């Protein structure tokens, strides 16, 4: 069996919404990234810290981690502490809860060749907890209706449902760098109903390369997002508004455009990056050419440059106060608060339009202030 499933749990949000994308992405090279490498290191550290917290044998992996730092250590310790809270709570009603770490799960009963790895599973008193650690800080991930979590839960049920009486599944995403702990619960029967219905049908279509293309926010991590015709046509349909005067559009139309403009700009950026990389590899685009972009001058030898300026009687260095984040890292959070809290302020942020679902409170505008009076 391959190391990566065609219909993986991590990509399920995409192939459930756009089944044909699975086969399209299959032929693309699986390029790694620094973010992925950092996430892999973080998971290894989390596994070690959780095993230590549970009193289990754990190999010290730190010397093998390329991305290890203080922040990653803090995140791993927070993850271990969170899972231990679940375990301790479970012990109040169950003398010996089951705890599985980095458990391989197989959900091929519903998704052909489907398998994955659940970061942590805790089973006690009719409840199965499935916890997934996310190290990313770019996109906040919600557990509500999350198909990746549901697939892990299904795979766990395949292993444990015959051994323990499981009625409820609680799925949690622990994402410390975003300050995000998101949870969702399902009754076992509801999860199985979803699996036997929507999941099985969409997985069959995806495996066979059938179904309808559909673009949406799940395109973000699609390997063919720059070349996808469906995405291009959807965004070009929106781009026609560029030829109209905004003042002639109604409020509802403008609000609708606002809801899609981020997707439009992201698509345009993806296409430009794809075209650039292809051109660097030797491809010729009709009407376009590859040129050398702007660059800034730089020292070839900073020490020699500084010595030359000093010998001429000048001071080549500037004295500048460390930024807030760098200063806190230098002296520590507690000492930072003691010494500098009287001299720290957080100015009001620049007004930004966001969907109503955003967690931040709405700003008071001049109009709202007038209405309140």
CATH number at residue 138: 3.90.320
Distance CA 37, CA 67 (A): 8
Backbone φ, ψ for residue 362 (5° rounding): -70, 145
Q: Which residues are within 8 A (CB) of 14 and not within 5 positions of it... i.e. 6 or more apart?
A: 21, 22, 218, 219, 221, 222
- Is the domain of 254 the same as that of 120? no
Average per-residue pLDDT for the chain: 88
- Yes or no: say if 211 and 7 are a contact pair by the CB < 8 Å rule: no
pLDDT band at 342 (very low <50, low <70, confident <90, very high): very high
- Is the domain of 89 the same as that of 188? yes
Whether 106 is in a domain gets the answer yes
Whether 351 is in a domain gets the answer no
Q: Judging by DSSP bridges, how do beta strands 180-187 and 127-133 pair with one another?
A: unpaired
- Is the domain of 41 the same as that of 184? yes
Whether 152 is in a domain gets the answer yes
- Is the domain of 192 the same as that of 253? no
pLDDT at position 131 over 90: yes
Distance CA 23, CA 31 (A): 17
Average pLDDT over residues 241-269: 74
pLDDT given for residue 62 in this prediction: 95
- Is the domain of 50 the same as that of 148? yes
- Yes or no: say if 113 and 6 are a contact pair by the CB < 8 Å rule: yes
Whether 70 is in a domain gets the answer yes
pLDDT given for residue 372 in this prediction: 54
- Is the domain of 230 the same as that of 203? no
Number of domains in the chain: 2
- Is the domain of 149 the same as that of 250? no
Distance CA 298, CA 281 (A): 27
pLDDT given for residue 1 in this prediction: 38
Whether 69 is in a domain gets the answer yes
Distance CA 211, CA 217 (A): 18
- Quick one: what percent of the chain has pLDDT higher than 90? 58
Number of H helices, E strands in the chain: 13, 5
- Is the domain of 124 the same as that of 229? no
Domain boundary among 160, 177, 207: 207
Q: Judging by DSSP bridges, how do beta strands 127-133 and 168-175 pair with one another?
A: parallel
pLDDT tens for 163-180 read 898 999 999 999 999 999
- Is the domain of 265 the same as that of 145? no
pLDDT at position 352 over 90: no
Distance CA 7, CA 200 (A): 12
Residue 180: enclosing H or E segment and its boundaries?
Answer: strand 180-187
C-alpha gyration radius of the chain: 26
User: pTM for the full model?
Assistant: 0.72
- Is the domain of 184 the same as that of 234? no
Q: 330: which 2 tokens?
A: 């230098």
For residue 146, the SS3 value is coil
Whether 307 is in a domain gets the answer no
pLDDT band at 369 (very low <50, low <70, confident <90, very high): low
- Is the domain of 164 the same as that of 276? no
Whether 217 is in a domain gets the answer no
For residue 256, the SS3 value is helix
Half-sphere CA count of 28, side-chain side, radius 13 A: 17
- Yes or no: say if 171 and 150 are a contact pair by the CB < 8 Å rule: yes
- Yes or no: say if 141 and 177 are a contact pair by the CB < 8 Å rule: no
Whether 318 is in a domain gets the answer no
- Is the domain of 264 the same as that of 192? no
Backbone φ, ψ for residue 121 (5° rounding): -130, 130
Domain residues for 26? 12-207
């Amino acid at each position: 069996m391959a190391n990566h499933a065609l219909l993986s749990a991590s990509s399920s949000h995409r192939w459930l919404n756009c089944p044909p994308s699975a086969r399209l992405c299959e032929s693309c090279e699986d390029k790694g990234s620094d973010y992925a490498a950092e996430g892999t290191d973080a998971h290894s550290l989390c596994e070690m810290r959780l095993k230590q917290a549970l009193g289990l044998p754990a190999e010290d992996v730190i010397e093998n981690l390329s991305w290890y730092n203080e922040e990653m250590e803090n995140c791993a310790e927070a993850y271990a502490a969170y899972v231990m809270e679940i375990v301790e709570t479970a012990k109040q009603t169950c003398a010996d809860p089951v705890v599985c770490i980095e458990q391989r799960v197989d959900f091929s009963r519903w998704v052909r060749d489907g398998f994955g790895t659940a970061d942590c599973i805790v089973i006690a008193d009719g409840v199965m907890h499935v916890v997934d650690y996310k190290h990313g800080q770019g996109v906040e991930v919600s557990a509500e209706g999350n198909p990746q979590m549901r697939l892990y839960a299904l795979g766990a049920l395949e292993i444990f449902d015959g051994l323990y009486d499981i009625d409820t599944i609680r799925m949690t995403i622990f994402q410390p760098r975003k300050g995000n702990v998101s949870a969702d619960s399902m009754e076992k029967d509801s999860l199985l109903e979803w699996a036997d219905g929507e999941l099985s049908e969409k997985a069959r279509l995806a495996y066979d390369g059938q179904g309808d293309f559909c673009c949406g926010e799940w395109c973000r991590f699609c390997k063919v997002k720059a070349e996808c015709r469906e995405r291009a046509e959807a965004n070009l349909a929106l781009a026609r508004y560029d030829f109209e005067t905004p003042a002639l559009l109604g409020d509802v139309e403008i609000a609708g455009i606002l809801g899609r403009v981020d997707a439009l700009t992201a698509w345009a950026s993806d296409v430009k990056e794809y075209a650039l990389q292809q051109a660097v590899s030797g491809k010729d685009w009709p009407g376009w050419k590859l040129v050398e972009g702007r660059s800034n001058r730089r020292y070839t030898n900073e020490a020699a440059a500084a010595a030359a300026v000093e010998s001429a009687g000048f001071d080549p260095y500037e004295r500048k106060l460390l930024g807030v984040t760098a200063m806190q890292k230098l002296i520590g959070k507690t000492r930072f608060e003691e010494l500098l809290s009287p001299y720290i302020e957080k100015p009001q942020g620049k007004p930004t339009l966001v969907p109503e679902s955003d967690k931040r409170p709405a700003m008071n505008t001049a109009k709202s202030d007038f209405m309140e009076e």
